[in-house]
Amino acid sequence: MNQDTLLQVRNLKVSFRGEEGELTEALKGINFDIPRNRTVALVGESGSGKSVTSMAIMQLLPARNTVIDPASQVTFEGRDLLALEGAELRKMRGKDIAMIFQEPMSSLNPVFTVGDQIAETLMLHAGLGRRDAFKRAVALLTEVGLPDPEKRAKAYPHELSGGQQQRVMIAMAIACEPKLLIADEPTTALDVTIQKQILQLLADLQKKHGMSVLFITHDLGLVGEFADDVVVMRHGEIREAGSVEQIFNAPANPYTKALLNCRPHLDSRPLRLAVIDDFMQPGGYVKPGERVRGYEASDEIILDVQHLAKSFDIRQGLFGKRQFHAVKDVSFQLPRGKTLGIVGESGSGKTTVGLTLVRLHQATGGKALFHGKDLLAMSAREFHEYKRRIQIIFQNPYASLNPRFTVEQILTEPMMLHGIGRVQMERVKMAQALLDRVGLPARSLSRYPHEFSGGQRQRIAIARCLTLKPEVLICDESVSALDVSVQAQVLNLLQELQDEYKLSYLFISHDLAVVKHISDQVLVMNKGEVVEQGDSDAIYRAPAAAYTRKLLDSIPTGWQPQAA
Amino acid sequence: MTTMINQAAPAATETRPQRGLWAMGWRRLKRNKVAFCSFWVVMAYMLLAVAGWLNILGDGWRAQIAVPYAPPSFLAKTVADTLPPEAPVAGGTASAPALIMVTPEEDPIGKEMEIARQNMGKYATANDAKLESLPFGADLRGRDVIHKTLKGASTSIFVGLLGALLSIVIGTSLGSVAGYFGGKVDDFLNWFYSVFTSVPDMLLLLSFAAVAGRGIKTIIIVMALTSWTGTFRLVRAEYLKLRSREYVQAASAIGASDARRMFVHILPNISHLLLVQFSLLTVALIKYEAILSFLGFGVGVTQVSLGSMLAEAPAELVQGFWWQMVAVTIAMSLLVTTFSLLIDGLRDALDPKAR
Amino acid sequence: MLSYIIRRVLQMIPTLFGVMLLVFCLFSVFGGDPSLVLAGKHMTPATLANVRAQLGLDQPLTTQFMIFVKQVFTLDFGTSWGSQQPVRDVLASRVGPSLTLSGALLVVDLLLAVPLAALVAYFRGGLTDRIVTICCTLAMSISALVYIVAGQYLLAYKWGLFPVGGWGHGFWTNLLIYVPLPMLMGLMVSLGPDIRFYRSFFVEEMNHDYVRTARAKGLSEQKVMLKHVLRNALIPVVTTVMMSLPYLLIGALVLESFFQIPGMGNEVVRAMNNSDFPIIKAITVYVALATMVFNLLADLIYKLIDPRVQLK
């Protein structure tokens, strides 16, 4: 083993035993090295086995249903980690190799203060007394940039924000100066501006402590700025491994190429996004032309929202109530066949806007004129007819389809409720046609949602909306939960449908690149208020508001030669 | 249950066996050997219960066919010596030889005796010589313990099932309305719920039972009226959670009415919980029925249930007649054990998280 | 905090009113005419009317209800229709035995069930877990009545290990001589479900992400269990126990009446059998009130032991 190699993974093969005793291979014998003092990024979409790899290194996989092939080897400084047991294994965990996880909130014990939880590691591995350990914990919290660390050390996890919790997790992980830090999707649950800070912190700490970092993520764009080496995984295999420069500049594997091109970029807007199939076919991917977007004076406005407001009552004190303003004075216009994007971080009120327009929340102020008629002032009976014309697609493809319905029921129900099609046969035919349109086989009709993947479910959800032939489609984070490659496919589908049916989209997302790609006009929201509004190209080129600039600066830029 | 079997059969032959959630649950249950065996035992009990209501099984439990406390046949010899002197049995003298010889003319009741003697043939079975032992012994009045247990178990299961069903209906309707609509309706129903839960369940049950009196129908209603709170809380919480689920919101967005969302979209999604809750309640109510009957608030005096049989046990045990209690204990324990194992299995099999 | 308590206390008023209404409906509206029982078999219309007047049954229902409400707030339910003693005195003399028996039962049950549940959860999926779970299921399947009847017959009547039943004077006499047998029977009934119930709390906690973090830190399984899991799982255990405390007041109903322990539960059964309505009404209302108070206390303790809880 090379002196500079810290961790060496050889032929790592992991299977899981299903409930019927059948084995599913999660890792099909992978090999890679983590050199000392370097950051290695493990990139892959869901089901690629990237998290399984990290858990296998730490021996954190559930023993009951995990089968690790005996030929597998994970060598850390000359020792085979997979052979470690008992006290030796525990000494390795936390001291030599530390780990941080995706969900900082649930990964911290809710009933102990964060200071105590950091001190626990120090008492265990560094042999410090309680008092010294706590002092050191405060110092660590200072190091990871937590404001007012003395006070925060005595706080419970739920009293901190998501970003602060992740800083606590990092402090806990670096407490014993580990040689390797495994970060498993550490920023996926965080807002984009916070993500930027956490990534910066990790990069700084890596340099300062001279440790190695194994950074696991689904987002290839994220790793360009600070990883040294990249390992691309798919379906339990390694597709490509190399330096970050090579991966970004001269990717050899078509899958890597596809991953790099699937994500919408801020500086280009192709007519159609690249999908994986484009790269897998002989001939490769030919970049299509650019699409020009933006509102035009001749556009027919079909939805005119004026001073929309929504507030919730929060109980306070003995009988008191406090109003929480989720949305304050939002106005916009949506023309036929165009897309208005709404971007904002969590808590910006962007989702509430969408829900009030379809009256899933009752608005507390303002008007929403749809063809001149105020949707918000209608009676429930009057609105029923309009439900057909404004439809909504939700974020979570796993929650938005009734698990007890077959696809046929899901697709024919809206038609039945609105008297579309005279008999069931006719409706089933229409449903079949729509399934075909969104790219699913007709035999899907008799299946249940759990038999489909996330992307397929989102297609079904889109088909359900299309059954009503709506004019406006509200997409509430509709592609956010999908893998990048699937995201591109669904975005392409949405674009095709817009071109075909002249649909108007209200596209709500936290993802600036996606919004830029699909929107004609963009509305930036923060804490319930509109920060900035305008043509998407204009806003991205020259943001007027400081908040918009901050958002744009947080977008990972990928690998840049000067940064390397 | 039969529909589940029917659904599962074709599914299993297909190349891609994953179907509806019920069919998947059924397949999982089949794989869990303990739960699957329990399922069939419970089904056998249900059959027994049905047979009991239709008076096919255990109908003859009232017939006093043996001597009082006749021992089980496998013990007959050893116990015979320790038996107390035979208690006089009404009507038993008819077959006894007349000790004092009087002519029919002298005898003041001679005529009636003569008629009685002529009619004897009609009551032949009732007046037959009493059996000295029975397969599992007899009770105070010489009734067959096995028949009595069959009939008693049938009554208990009937009470448990119907009580649980009624209780589920009450709890689900109130809980779904409270959870779905919220607001004032919820406040009111919650008040109703808190009133019922602030009285400990046994006390509440006894209060209702004391007022309502005895009898199978009364008991079913009383138990339903006092046991709906658990279901209410469960269903209310589920509706509260599910009504903001995206698929229910999507149903709202496509124009589904409140009733449709409540019963077509949400209800099927908690049906597995209701099945488990129903099973739990059935077991609980069978146990409660026993206690109620034991304390004298249960089934009527002319009816038999496992509880009313247990109520006879203390007096019997002191005299050493243990078979009635053992018979009831076996019948009840087997039912409750298998039912509990089945519930555990159902819970795992129907858990949507497990897939 | 204070405003929370005040609001909760105010919320008790409608609930208490509801309980009073429920009790009143049960016993004064649907309960039939108790005077028929009380006047005896050889009553004349005159004695019947007399009894009715004494009980206030000739008054309109609303007046009767007002009288009942007044009784609740003045703690004066008149005299027992059975023993003719003041209800207050009867109940006061019944609380002690009930608390002695149920208290002992609760303490021993907790001391056995919680550690066993933790142990079983620690070995979850293993042989120990399976054996204990099966034992619990089997123990649960046998009716409480069988334990009591057979237990008394074998342990007391036949083998003479305990007194058959009854109650003495003095706390220690009762606790050491008369309580053990009914307590043992109570344990047979309660241990099975309790172990299973508490086990589920532990198992659920063990599936949380923070357990993974604790393992990743290098803590041993025992330490993960004893520090991280236990502290979290005790939260629902403590709340469950707090909520069950008012049940101590009515005691173990069947146990008391079968072993002739002069507690609340015994009194309830006696009163039910003899249509002694004042006693039942008083017990029901006060136990309900106790339940509400203990629910509030449970929530306050919940706040103390779970830092996440915000009382609003």
- The arithmetic mean of pLDDT across residues B333-343, rounded, is 92
Which subunits sit against A, judged by 3+ Cβ pairs under 8 A?
Answer: B, C
The domain over range A1-96+179-252 is classified in CATH as 3.40.50.300: yes
Is the distance from CB of A74 to CB of A9 less than 8 angstroms?
Answer: yes
What's the CA gap between A131 and A119, in Å, rounded?
9
pLDDT at A334: 94
Does A387 sit within 8 Å of B18, measured CB to CB?
no
Considering only alpha carbons, which residue of chain A is nearest residue C6? A318
Tokens of A2: 């090379």
Does B206 sit within 8 Å of C253, measured CB to CB?
yes
Does C125 sit within 8 Å of A124, measured CB to CB?
no
B-C contacts (CB, under 8 Å): 126
Is the distance from CB of A484 to CB of A219 less than 8 angstroms?
Answer: yes
| B26 has a chain C CB within 8 A of its CB | no
Q: Tell me the nearest-neighbour CA distance from B280 into chain A, angstroms.
A: 24
Beta-carbon contacts of C10 under 8 Å, excluding residues fewer than 6 positions away, are none
| B325 has a chain C CB within 8 A of its CB | yes
User: Which amino acid does the sequence have at C279?
Assistant: I
| Nearest residue to C210 via CA among C233, C183, C178 | C233
ipTM of the complex: 0.86
pLDDT at A313: 84
Considering only CB atoms, C307 lies closest to which of A98, A110, A317, namely A110
Does A132 or C48 have the greater pLDDT score?
A132
Is the distance from CB of B185 to CB of B258 less than 8 angstroms?
Answer: no
- The arithmetic mean of pLDDT across residues B86-90, rounded, is 44
- Indicate the CATH number for domain A301-553: 3.40.50.300
On chain C, the residues whose CB falls within 8 A of the CB of B314 are 149, 152-153
Whether the pLDDT of residue B91 is over 50: the answer is: no
On chain B, the residues whose CB falls within 8 A of the CB of C240 are none
Q: Testing the interface with B: which of C19, C141, C274 to mutate, by most B Cβ within 10 A?
A: C141
- The arithmetic mean of pLDDT across residues C116-145, rounded, is 89
- Chain B residues contacting A via beta carbons under 8 Å: 16, 18-21, 28, 31, 245-256, 260, 265, 268-269, 352, 354-355
Does C272 sit within 8 Å of B297, measured CB to CB?
yes
Task: State the DSSP string of B245-280.
Answer: SHHHHHHHHTT--HHHIIIIIIHHHHHHHHHHHHHH
Q: Testing the interface with B: which of A395, A402, A476, A506 to mutate, by most B Cβ within 10 A?
A: A402
Does A101 sit within 8 Å of C210, measured CB to CB?
no
On chain C, the residues whose CB falls within 8 A of the CB of A112 are 228, 231
Q: Which domains does chain C have, with CATH numbers?
A: 2-74 (no CATH), 94-269+299-305 (1.10.3720)
Cβ within 8 Å of B, C 234-263: 246-247, 250, 253-254, 257
Give the predicted TM-score (pTM) of the model: 0.86
| C170 has a chain B CB within 8 A of its CB | no
| C287 has a chain B CB within 8 A of its CB | yes
Tokens of C157: 């009547």
Is the distance from CB of B256 to CB of A413 less than 8 angstroms?
Answer: yes
Q: Tell me the nearest-neighbour CA distance from B337 into chain A, angstroms.
A: 25
Does B354 sit within 8 Å of A19, measured CB to CB?
yes
Of B16-30, B100-114, B266-280, give the lowest mean pLDDT range.
B100-114
What is residue A467's three-state secondary structure?
Answer: coil
Same fold, A1-96+179-252 and A301-553: yes
Tallying the residues shown for chain B, one arrives at 355
On chain B, the residues whose CB falls within 8 A of the CB of C257 are 295
Tokens of A95: 């001291």
pLDDT at B355: 47
What's the CA gap between A475 and A479, in Å, rounded?
8
Rounded to the nearest angstrom, the gap between the alpha carbon of residue C241 and the centroid of all alpha carbons in its chain is: 11
pLDDT tens digit sequence for B279-296: 999 999 999 999 888 888
Burial of C16 (0-12, 13-18, 19+ CB in 10 A): buried
| B88 has a chain C CB within 8 A of its CB | no
On chain B, the residues whose CB falls within 8 A of the CB of C31 are 211
Most confident of B76-80, B125-129, B271-275, C70-74: B271-275
Query: Reduced to 3 DSSP states, what percent helix, strand and coil does chain A have, rounded to the nearest 5?
Result: 40, 25, 35
Q: Testing the interface with A: which of C124, C210, C220, C304 to mutate, by most A Cβ within 10 A?
A: C210
Tokens of A222: 């994220």
Q: Testing the interface with A: which of B246, B257, B264 to mutate, by most A Cβ within 10 A?
A: B246
| Nearest residue to A276 via CA among A268, A284, A266, A287 | A284
Considering only CB atoms, C14 lies closest to which of B191, B211, B336, namely B191
On chain C, the residues whose CB falls within 8 A of the CB of B334 are 141
Does A392 sit within 8 Å of B247, measured CB to CB?
no
In percent, the amount of chain B with pLDDT more than 90 equals 38
Going residue by residue through chain A, which has 564 residues, state the pLDDT in tens, using 9 for 90 and above. 566 889 999 999 999 988 777 888 999 999 999 999 999 999 998 889 999 999 999 999 988 889 999 999 999 988 899 988 888 899 889 899 999 998 888 999 999 999 999 999 999 998 889 999 999 999 999 999 998 999 999 999 999 998 999 999 999 999 999 999 999 999 888 888 899 899 999 999 999 999 999 999 988 888 888 899 999 999 999 999 999 999 998 899 989 988 888 888 888 888 888 888 888 877 777 888 888 888 888 889 999 999 999 998 877 666 677 888 899 999 999 999 999 999 998 889 999 999 999 999 899 999 999 998 999 999 988 998 899 999 999 888 888 899 889 999 999 999 999 988 889 999 999 999 999 999 999 889 988 888 898 889 999 999 999 999 999 999 999 888 888 888 999 999 999 999 999 999 999 999 898 999 999 999 999 999 999 999 988 998 899 999 999 999 888 877 776 543
Does A403 sit within 8 Å of B269, measured CB to CB?
yes
In percent, the amount of chain C with pLDDT more than 90 equals 26
What's the CA gap between A262 and C180, in Å, rounded?
74
| C23 has a chain B CB within 8 A of its CB | yes
| Nearest residue to A386 via CA among A308, A264, A512, A474 | A474
Does B332 sit within 8 Å of C153, measured CB to CB?
no
| C272 has a chain B CB within 8 A of its CB | yes
Considering only CB atoms, C141 lies closest to which of B192, B328, B333, namely B333
Considering only CB atoms, C284 lies closest to which of B199, B314, B341, namely B199
Whether the pLDDT of residue B9 is over 70: the answer is: no
| B319 has a chain C CB within 8 A of its CB | no
What order do you get walking across the sheet with A301-316 strand by strand?
A: A320-335, A301-316, A365-370, A373-374
Considering only CB atoms, B290 lies closest to which of C141, C143, C283, namely C143
pLDDT at A564: 38
Does C231 sit within 8 Å of A110, measured CB to CB?
no
Does B250 sit within 8 Å of A400, measured CB to CB?
yes
Cβ within 8 Å of B, C 103-142: 137-138, 140-142
Per-residue H/E/C for chain C = CHHHHHHHHHHHHHHHHHHHHHHHHHHHHCCCCHHHHHCCCCCCHHHHHHHHHHHCCCCCHHHHHHHHHHHHHHCCCCECCCCCCEHHHHHHHHHHHHHHHHHHHHHHHHHHHHHHHHHHHHCCCCHHHHHHHHHHHHHHHCCHHHHHHHHHHHHHHHCCCCCCCCCCCCHHHHHHHHCHHHHHHHHHHHHHHHHHHHHHHHHHHHCCHHHHHHHHHCCCHHHHHHHHHHHHHHHHHHHHHHHHCCHHHHCCHHHHHHCCCCCHHHHHHHHHHCCCHHHHHHHHHHHHHHHHHHHHHHHHHHHHHCCCCCCC
Q: Tell me the nearest-neighbour CA distance from A7 into chain B, angstroms.
A: 34
Which subunits sit against B, judged by 3+ Cβ pairs under 8 A?
Answer: A, C
**C-alpha angle B279-B284-B289 in degrees, rounded to nearest 5:** 125
**C-alpha angle B180-B205-B325 in degrees, rounded to nearest 5:** 125
Considering only CB atoms, A91 lies closest to which of C212, C218, C228, namely C218
- Indicate the CATH number for domain B21-63+144-349: 1.10.3720.10
Sorted by where each begins, the domain ranges of chain A are 1-96+179-252, 106-177, 301-553
On chain C, the residues whose CB falls within 8 A of the CB of A61 are none
On chain C, the residues whose CB falls within 8 A of the CB of B229 are none
Considering only CB atoms, C15 lies closest to which of B195, B294, B328, namely B195
Is the distance from CB of C68 to CB of C28 less than 8 angstroms?
Answer: yes
| B306 has a chain C CB within 8 A of its CB | yes
- Over its C-alpha atoms, chain B yields an Rg (Å, rounded) of 27
pLDDT at C83: 78
